Structure 1
Amino acid sequence: MSTPATTTATTAIAATTTTTYTVTGMTCGHCVSSVTAEVGKVAGVTGVQVDLATGGVTVASDRVLDDAAVAAAVVEAGYEVVAPAAETPAQGASCCGSCH
């Protein structure tokens, strides 16, 4: 079974952090509801938006999230978070510290 490519992007805007995960196995509205409900229970989560077509799950929070807690919530809903290939630094942050 091949796994789709994944990206994780984290953006900090004011007091809100938005992180996008790629989740596999979602096929219908019930899947969306299950993932939204379980991820919504993670401490700090203020909103969850699911794009069924792409498998993207965008999570808004009032802090940087523990990816393992989000992944556990997705598993509890019956799905899987694809391990991120790379992370995008938060707005204003640098990946290696050498950028201005």
Structure 2
Amino acid sequence: MQEAKMKVDGMTCRSCVKSIEGSLDQIGVEGKVDFDEGTVHVQYDESKLQLNDIQEVIRSKGYEVTN
């Protein structure tokens, strides 16, 4: 398992947290979103997904993601 922590901009409420966590869950990624810090910490199987794939899922929800 790989781990990564990313900065997520554009979260305005706790519903944003649920939206991101739900999207990550759908692709088999364990994620914890910290609204106060504006970050997401993920654990993923690098044989199935790359970090860029995870970032694209978050971006598709309307958020900006940086490493």
For this structure pair, what is the TM-score category when the shorter chain's length is used for normalisation? 0.7 to 0.9
Q: What pairs with 1:1-100 in structure 2 (closer than 5 Å)? A: 16-42=1-27, 44-45=28-29, 47-63=30-46, 65-82=49-66, 84=67
Gap runs ≥5 in structure 2? none
Gap runs ≥5 in structure 1? 1-15, 85-100
Greater helix fraction, Structure 1 or Structure 2:
2
Aligned residues with identical type, % of pairs: 32
Task: Measure the CA separation in 2 of the matches of 1:70 and 1:39.
Answer: 7
- Runs of 4+ residues deviating >2 angstroms: 39-42, 62-65
In the superposition, the TM-score normalised over structure 2's length comes to 0.79
Q: Bigger radius of gyration, 1 or 2? A: 1
Residue deviations 1:40-81, cap 9 Å, x none? Answer: 233x52x11001011110111233641221121111222110
In the superposition, the TM-score normalised over structure 1's length comes to 0.57
Task: Measure the CA separation in 2 of the matches of 1:62 and 1:70.
Answer: 11
Please, what is the CA RMSD of the aligned residues?
Answer: 1.8
